[in-house]
Structure 1
């Protein structure tokens, strides 16, 4: 269902858009897509579809209003619309999507030895919100019952708690990781040096935060160390975590009565883990000190994943990742410009340092 495909015709989606100005904005996207399709311009086709699918899958009413306003500001200027679509590709989709190349995106996804040597974190020891990765992982494990939220598998640190349950073949032990809904790199404070690299990172982060704030999210809630707050993290098994970060898996709130904090697990492809559950219900033993993952942030991630896959942006970036990984020397005739631009954009959004 969530594979690259043309925008649905307006008659099929009018009921989803509700507002007249949203329908007219969608009509602009349809005409833009039709025009660039005749030129077989992949980048512009993706731009048109990103804008259209952002209208069909907004993360909130506020984000829908913002997209409508931005599209109408471009009118029928297809160059301006292309630039707008590329901005959302670079500062929304790239910001949520983990770069997959020969250089690891970040070491933070790996289990931290300092935490692995700890025993189970006493609930009474929780005095403040986590301010670093390892503390966030410890508190998220406690809140999530030492289990992967999506598969239900237990973390290996919980084996002392299980006792007789380990004899049950349905009980799995895995290495879990602390998964950030909004990636840490998006909110990390940039070094204050004046190098060109630091300057480009500052510009990139500023652009990402501008997009998210226009979508109606208070970016200050996760600035700096607050990115490790429990409403931005959950416990996931390694393979599930990787697919969540790659926008291949997301959680959609069911909105069913008497089913608060219940989410439907959606994946681009099934079969990557035999234990993936259809639904996830988050609970906490202490709502005040161990808050649940934010529905707003999960909705933001889900919207990004759906738009990335439906528009073809995810496949496009995957293709560039593969080309970059296998390319040792870029051609000097301009034929590798697309891969080079991808490399520069990928570097701009990673390696940002927030300190401990």
Structure 2
């Protein structure tokens, strides 16, 4: 069962309206209409959350699903993302069941896509707006190709760009320590850095069967409908410098588990380092903000601000809605449980275990 303490209740309609108006300030009538539609869609999410809270059975997960939709509106990383979210919410025509299925779809194809893969791919969720969604997915599915680019080459390119250091902690890559003098070694310290992907590489390669390709196509379709040009990261392009970062192992783990994300400041290439929970700053000695720099800006570009914003939005929605805690809890229970109840009491855990069993995607090392 899901604890009702997971996540935060959706803000009031008044607070949400203020946030939407301040975050998405529009000058044209068309975009102004989107703002109004966003407030209307948020109202639908509030009603769904309220209905789920009053339900006797299966309500706790539905509360999270409703909150996922509401926080997607409030945390939309771009106008195109907001427009897509608002459109699909309204396409449910205020149907409780359809809205819950939609929330589950975003959990499967958005939140879980950005969270570190510990198991297998969920099967196809029933997306309420299937016709247009399936068209997008099928179009993308035909474009998916096996990504065979060298992991080592990607890591070396990122290391060169990032001056052989973790982009967050500044520690020197263990295999590069000999390139630095003793004083620099002692000041910066060393670590085992890794090549971290903003959009997980496992979404795109080692897709050996139809189920995995179907899942990857669904993820790509969601990203595409959020307004991102997936051609920049499809196939071997997932290893593009726009999509990779040099991170020390602990930072990489936090980033992949949506416990670390980067929020842009007003200064170009400067980001706030956000951790969940915040005390991890002290535990891992991580800075409050970082400025990304390239050793060769003309040839070695920095990570895409748009992809970092998408990852950050996903992380915020996951934590605010309670989806992150919910998935973590199910993961722990699936790992520790050897016998599932036969009376249906473990049905949610069984469903999660089945989805994990369908999601075995090899990740290169």
TM-score (norm 2): 0.82
1:125-164, aligned counterparts within 5 Å?
A: 131-164=149-182
Question: What's the RMSD between the two structures over aligned residues?
Answer: 2.1
The answer on whether the counterparts of 2:243 and 2:303 sit within 8 Å (CA) in structure 1 is: yes
Q: Is residue 301 of structure 1 aligned with residue 319 of structure 2?
A: no
Equivalent in the alignment of 1:11: 14
The answer on whether the counterparts of 1:147 and 1:235 sit within 8 Å (CA) in structure 2 is: yes
Q: Secondary structure at the match of 1:200?
A: helix
The answer on whether the counterparts of 1:177 and 1:241 sit within 8 Å (CA) in structure 2 is: yes
Identify if the C-alpha distance between structure 1 residues 348 and 229 changes in structure 2 by more than 3 Å, giving closer, same or farther.
Answer: farther
In structure 2, stretches of 5+ residues that fail to align are 1-5, 22-34, 121-147
Q: Secondary structure at the match of 1:17?
A: helix
CA shift for structure 1 position 279: 1.3
CA distance in 1, matches of 2:347, 2:100: 18
The answer on whether the counterparts of 1:262 and 1:281 sit within 8 Å (CA) in structure 2 is: yes
Equivalent in the alignment of 2:272: 264
Equivalent in the alignment of 1:226: 237
**Superposed CA offset, 1:125-162 (max 9, x none):** xxxxx932111111111111111111111111222122
CA shift for structure 1 position 5: 0.4
1:1-40, aligned counterparts within 5 Å?
A: 4-18=7-21, 19-39=35-55
Q: Secondary structure at the match of 1:292?
A: coil
CA distance in 2, matches of 1:280, 1:136: 22
| Count, aligned residues | 316
In structure 1, stretches of 5+ residues that fail to align are 104-129, 192-197
Identify if the C-alpha distance between structure 1 residues 343 and 270 changes in structure 2 by more than 3 Å, giving closer, same or farther.
Answer: same
CA shift for structure 1 position 352: 5.3
1:1-356, aligned counterparts within 5 Å?
A: 4-18=7-21, 19-39=35-55, 41-100=59-118, 131-166=149-184, 168=186, 170-188=187-205, 190-191=207-208, 198-254=209-265, 256=266, 259-272=267-280, 273-351=283-361
CA distance in 1, matches of 2:291, 2:237: 24
Identify if the C-alpha distance between structure 1 residues 287 and 344 changes in structure 2 by more than 3 Å, giving closer, same or farther.
Answer: farther
CA shift for structure 1 position 167: 6.6
CA distance in 2, matches of 1:350, 1:293: 28
